[in-house]
Amino acid sequence: MNRYFIRRTLLAIPTLLVISVLLFGLLQLAPGGPAALYAGPDAGPEDLERISRLLGTDQPPPIQYIRWLGGVLRGDWGISFRYREPVVSVLAGRLPNTVQLMAAALVIALVLAVPFGVISAVSRWRVIQYLASVAAMLGVSIPTFWLGMMVLLVFSVKLRILPSGGIATIGLEYDPVDRLVHLIGPASVLATMYIAAWSRYVRSSLLEVLHQDYIRLARAKGLSEWAVLTRHALRNALLPLVTLVGLQGGSLVGGAMITEVVFAWPGMGRLLAEALASRDYPVLMAAFMTMAVLTVIGNLLADLAYGWVDPRIRLS
């Protein structure tokens, strides 16, 4: 059992290495050079040469990559071109905000998706089934950023009950209620897609389980419908959801990124968008790799969780 976990964890390392090589190679394609960006428009040729020697960009790309990787492993992720401070401290200010947003969205999505899915599966009323399928389809089809804009339009501009973005009111940075109010909009918007996708999944998974013989047996024993549903059906129907949740790490990262841009949420995603616009390579590289790590961790947790809940998987 431990060997399975260790093997899966070790497999994540080459994946991350390949991703980092790909991205590093990609950044080499960029026109101009980091030195020119760092130096600014007034720098002469000698300045450029000096700066590129300082940054190490006069070396061939493979050497640069190895230096970068060595630095990353030692905790030295370079200096941000834009903020002129260590990338690590720039990231440290942003990562918790993204994790907070993603965690809040995950909780909202799970808390709502399961009951929605169950209701649409067991309801005898066609109206409810119909509404549930249209609502779920809407949820997966509306672009996250547009939903965010509409939420801002309705709740912030028109009704004035939610703030118009940001993580906290200036001056109230340590007020938990204020932070919570700021979190509601972006977290709900980010959660919407997953509420829809997962409730569809719970519905179909539950419908499948409800046709199994052991459910008929449970009913024949005289158990109440509630007991059949919660103790026998749901327990089996929800197992695959564990994997699904983990596998969507990548899309959650992308979704969080665009949600952050719309809601001016100071997280990793917005940092990446800003780094891209200002060509801040060290921050870009670090933000991207952090997102890749979050995704790979999601996939890994999905694998491990599945092996944990379903012992059959571990044998193969």
Partner 1 sequence: MPPAATGEHAEATIGARRTLSPARRAWRRFRQHHLALASAVILGVLVVASALAPVASKYDPDAASLEILAPPSPEHPLGTDDVGRDLLSRLLHAGRISLSVGFGAAVLTVAVGVLVGAAAGYYGGQVDALLSALVNVMLAIPILPLALVLSSFLQTNLTFVILIIGGLSWPAVARIIRAEFLSLREREFVEAARVVGAGSGRIIFIHILPNTLAPIIVAATLQVASAILLESALSFLGYGVQPPQASWGNMLQDAQRYLRTVPALAIYPGALISLTVISVNFLGDGLREALDPRLQV
Q: Is residue 162 within the footprint of partner 1 (CB under 8 A)? A: no
Per-residue DSSP letters for 266-289? -SHHHHHHHHHHTT-HHHHHHHHH
Could you give phi then psi for residue 76, rounded to 5 degrees? -105, 100
The SS3 assignment for 11 reads helix
Are the C-beta atoms of residues 286 and 77 closer than 8 Å to each other? yes
Binding segment for partner 1 among 35-43, 47-55, 166-174, 273-281 (CB under 8 A)? 273-281
- Exposure pattern of 64-90 as b/e (b: 16+ CB <10 Å)? bbeebeeebeeeebbbbbbbeebbbeb
Query: Residue 26 interacts with partner 1 (CB under 8 A)?
Result: yes
How far from 144 is each of 148, 190, 192, 257, 305, CA to CA, in Å? 6, 7, 8, 10, 28
Question: Does residue 43 bind partner 1 (CB under 8 A)?
Answer: no
Among 27, 48, 69, 95, binds partner 1 (CB under 8 A): 27
- In whole angstroms, how close is the CB of 245 to partner 1 at the nearest point? 16
Considering the complex, what minimum distance in angstroms separates the CB of residue 30 from partner 1? 5
Tell me whether residue 25 or residue 62 sits nearer to partner 1 (CB atom).
Answer: 25
Q: Which is nearer to partner 1, 15 or 100 (CB)?
A: 15
| Bridge partner residues of 87 (DSSP) | none
* 83: helix, strand or coil: coil
Q: Examine residue 228 and tell whether it contacts partner 1 (CB under 8 A).
A: no
Closest CA to 280 of 37, 30, 23, 19: 37
Contact characters 44-83, partner 1, x per CB under 8 A: ----------------------------------------
Considering only the stretches 29-37, 112-120, 215-223, 225-233, report the one whose residues sit in contact with partner 1 under the rule CB under 8 A. Answer: 29-37
The residue from 218, 299, 303, 307 that contacts partner 1 (CB under 8 A) is: 299
276 is a site residue for partner 1 (CB under 8 A):
yes
Does 197 contact partner 1 by CB under 8 A? no
| C-beta of 288 vs 306, nearer to partner 1 | 288
Among 7, 141, 177, 226, binds partner 1 (CB under 8 A): 141
> How are the residues of the chain apportioned to helix, strand and coil, as percentages rounded to the nearest 5?
80, 0, 20
Does 145 help bind partner 1 (rule: CB under 8 A)? yes
Given a contact cutoff of 8 angstroms between Cβ atoms, the answer to whether 244 and 71 are in contact is no
* 91, amino acid identity: L
Residue 41 to residues 34, 45, 138, 262: CA-CA distances in angstroms? 12, 11, 48, 31
Residues within the interface to partner 1 (CB under 8 A):
15, 18-19, 22-23, 26-27, 29-31, 133-134, 137-138, 140-146, 149-150, 152-153, 157, 200, 204, 250-251, 253-255, 257-258, 261-262, 269, 272-273, 276-277, 284, 287-288, 291-292, 294-296, 299
